[in-house]
Amino acid sequence: MYEFAVAPAVQNIRRRGVEIGEVSPDSLGSELELESGDRIIKVNGRVVRDYLDFRFQTAGETELMLEVRKKSGEDWELQIERGEGEDFGLSFEQIVPRQCANECIFCFCKGNPADARPSLFIKDEDVRLSFLYGNYTTLTSISEDEMQRIVEQRLSPQYVSIHATDLAVRAYLLGVDEHRADISSKLVRLLDAGIEIHAQVVLCPGINDGEVLRKTIDDLAAEYPRITSVAIVPLGLTRYNTDARLTAVTPDFCRQTIAEITAIQGDLRKRLGTTFAFLGDEIYLRAGGSVPARAHYGEYPQIEDGIGMVRTFSNEFAALMRRLGRRPPGQPASVNGTILTGLLFAPVLRPLIEKMNSRFGTRLYVEGVENNYFGGDVSVAGLLTGGDLLASQSRIRGDFVVIPKSTLKSDEEIMLDGMKLLELSERFGLPVYPMDLKSFSQFLFRQN
Ligand code: SF4
């Protein structure tokens, strides 16, 4: 166990090469008789570890030597000439995340019920996923090989959880010693190599707030524009994470944080021309206030981390209302159903939907759903489970139910507690539509 806990995040790949998922018909891949299940081991003599390697090593090359392990067990060597920009027409297996070697006191894995889906317990710490999807890493156990790879393959931007630039506080939060917590030389090396960094702070009351947070923002802002932005998101506690070192985020704490950080943001905008240090939407909503205006967010550098999502939604909703306003009068009055969402977002959505109802005659009802599965202070829509949604059955009105699309697994219509969408629909006795704003807007237009 101990060995595993300190193993570097980047470990040797157990299986060689990268497995081909699908081969498009009439593509270069199918002409080469590559098939699903074959593994590409090397490109021009260089080992391929995953599809990023394949992409990097084949980019711009017209003459290539591929070493392939066929799924039959045969080894092939393929000498290829291809046209400039000609695609292989191959899709590949997903990247298997490297495991994290920290013991963060607020780790989300500790907040899961014991019977949660196994994938919810994966502690990923992978610079490839950081580059591809904006997943945060701490860089505490990154290997030399992976550092070189970021630079060589330009895996930029990278998303790094800093939490605090005070080393003792960072080490405490990550549950590692100060030597491992100290990533200053790694950061400098990446920044010097031109890798863009976005930073994150998980704000834990009494630990990395106040003076520690001010210092963190100052230290990171000193590296702007090489460090592009900082996302400050609140600690989330479920009923299962009962670590006595953690204090729950309260509305008062959120209001105090907003007051302190708004002043700092004003100064940063004057000095840097950007807000730079952004507070998560959740902090504004839990404070009972509204989120800042569009201009606050610039290019929305941290939208995937819940920074500016509500503002984007409100603006897109306003655009939807304008589009509906251009429809013939009376449309889309036939729509009659209930929208279920998290307790945090319901007060934002309800007035917007009520405006739509009064202007267009729709009959849509917004119901906030409590999260009993995780409990604690979890109130975001994406963590609602089938059981939570079912518990709101008595409040459902109309002919259909809309649920947040984010409650479903990205590749399967199943919720966090294992309930399938079909079962939810059967239990409600109504069609259930998982939607985001885009599909909601398409849905409204389809009704006409
Ligand atoms: S919060 Fe992230 S970095 Fe910390 S222990 Fe959990 S998975 Fe690892």
Among residues 237, 358, 366, 343, the alpha carbon closest in space to that of 288 is found at 343
200 Cβ inside 6 Å of ligand 1: no
Q: In what order do the strands lie in the sheet with 277-279?
A: 158-161, 197-203, 227-234, 277-279
444 Cβ inside 6 Å of ligand 1: no
- Ligand 1 mean position to 102 CA, how many Å? 6
Q: Are strands 336-342 and 227-234 parallel, antiparallel or unpaired?
A: unpaired
- Ligand 1 mean position to 37 CA, how many Å? 32
Lookup: tokens for 445: 């237009």
User: What tens-digit pLDDT sequence spans the chain (448 residues)?
Assistant: 223 333 344 444 457 999 999 999 999 999 999 999 999 999 999 999 999 999 999 998 899 999 999 999 999 999 999 988 899 999 999 998 898 989 999 998 888 988 887 778 888 899 999 999 999 999 999 999 999 999 999 999 999 999 999 999 999 999 999 999 999 999 999 999 999 999 999 999 999 999 999 999 999 999 999 999 999 999 999 999 889 999 999 999 999 999 999 999 999 999 999 999 999 999 999 999 999 999 999 999 999 889 999 999 999 899 989 988 887 765 556 789 999 999 999 999 999 999 999 998 899 999 999 999 999 888 888 889 999 999 999 999 999 999 999 999 888 899 988 899 999 999 999 999 998 877 887 777 765 4
Task: Note the pLDDT of residue 331.
Answer: 59
Cα distances (angstroms) measured from residue 405 to each of 115, 118, 192, 409: 23, 21, 40, 9
Cα 152 to Cα 56: distance, rounded to the nearest angstrom? 9
- Burial-class residue 63 by CB neighbours within 10 Å (0-12, 13-18, 19+): exposed
**Ligand 1 binding pocket mutation candidate from 100, 140, 246 (most atoms within 8 A of CB):** 100
Identify the residue whose C-alpha is closest to ligand 1 atom 1.
107
Atom of ligand 1 nearest to the CA of 100: 8
Whether 249 and 377 have beta carbons less than 8 Å apart is answered as: yes
Task: Note the pLDDT of residue 446.
Answer: 67
204 Cβ inside 6 Å of ligand 1: no
75 CB neighbour count, 10 Å cutoff: 9
β-bridge mates for residue 23, sequence order: 90
With H, G, I as helix, E, B as strand and everything else as coil, classify residue 230.
strand
269 Cβ inside 6 Å of ligand 1: no
**Ligand 1 binding pocket mutation candidate from 109, 183, 237 (most atoms within 8 A of CB):** 109
β-bridge mates for residue 18, sequence order: 40
